[in-house]
Amino acid sequence: MIPDYVKSKMADYHNQYSEIAQELFTFWLSDIVFTLPWWIGLLLIVMPWLIWFLCKEKINTHKYLYSGFFVIIISSYLDFLGVQAG
């Protein structure tokens, strides 16, 4: 059985967390999303995929996908090593 003072403390923390999450969402919505850097980031994410889709040769698609897969695996491993090393 959970004591009442623990329940009230947990409710207080939950309310504080909810207020902070709402403030963060309001900040994100008003100051981050749909700004110029946000649009540039979106463009940098979408454009390489569009360029690749329009310019790829259908014969070599599997080679490109294999190469991309190995690059992802190697970069993920190096990122893991960097995080572990500090």
Do residue 37 and residue 78 come from a single domain?
Answer: no
Amino acid identity of residue 77, one-letter, is: Y
Do residue 51 and residue 79 come from a single domain?
Answer: no
CB 32 within 8 A of CB 38: yes
Do residue 46 and residue 62 come from a single domain?
Answer: no
Do residue 50 and residue 62 come from a single domain?
Answer: no
Number of structural domains in the chain: 2
Quick: pLDDT tens for 2-58.
Answer: 899 999 999 999 999 999 999 999 999 999 999 999 999 999 999 988 998 888 888
The CA-atom distances, in angstroms, between 57 and each of 8, 37, 46, 71 are 63, 32, 19, 20
Say what the pLDDT of residue 65 is. Answer: 86
Which tokens in the block code for residue 19?
A: 């207020």
Which tokens in the block code for residue 72?
A: 């992802």
| Measured distance CA(60)–CA(78) in Å, rounded | 27
